[in-house]
A and B are shown apart, each in its own frame.
Chain A
């Protein structure tokens, strides 16, 4: 069946450096993708989304890149801060906002 997965389960970066979190998806029919941040003890928090008719989208300090050719999604965080430490999930959807499939998550640790 379709699945969404992450290449790296953990990522440690130095404060101030850029972070790149990757996600592979297998359902070529997916047309909408979201990155979520989940801090300990809290629910997932929407970061940024992208539709399949785009290959890049920028937010505040975050950029999502979509490569449909290789079914790869990445989240770039510029100037990583201690408050960015969390688990990051990608999620895919191909049914106009109904059933989202989540990846297992990558834990980002920001080192002082």
Chain B
């Protein structure tokens, strides 16, 4: 069964550093998403991406965040200058012809 993959599984970084979280969506999917989940809290929408541009973004997705689909397979989330409060699980998801969202296993980001 096709699946969304994410790397790394765990990223530790110092405050102020840039991080890039990587995702490989399911190959024939067209819609891509990033979500985050702070420990013990609910999943929060960050951004959706379609046709090589952002479709919608939340208030969380400020100027420190950016997304990119540099080639036909990868979908990346960049945080330019990490803050302590960026520590969370970050999930990538993709959607194909049905409305079903397939989530990746997540990247745990720890900012120290």
- The interface residues of chain B, by DSSP majority, are classed as strand
Total inter-chain residue pairs, C-beta < 8 Å: 49
* Number of A interface residues in the complex (CB < 8 A): 22
- The interface residues of chain A, by DSSP majority, are classed as loop
Establish whether residues A46 and B48, one from each chain, have CB atoms under 8 Å apart when the complex forms.
Answer: no
Establish whether residues B41 and A104, one from each chain, have CB atoms under 8 Å apart when the complex forms.
Answer: yes
Q: What are 13 inter-chain pairs, A to B, with CB distance below 8 A?
A: A43-B104, A44-B101, A45-B103, A46-B100, A46-B101, A49-B99, A89-B42, A89-B43, A95-B56, A97-B99, A98-B56, A103-B42, A104-B41
- Chain B residues at the A interface, C-beta cutoff of 8 Å: 4, 31, 41-45, 48, 55-56, 58, 91, 93, 95, 99-106
- Chain A residues at the B interface, C-beta cutoff of 8 Å: 32, 34, 36, 41-46, 49, 89, 91, 95, 97-105
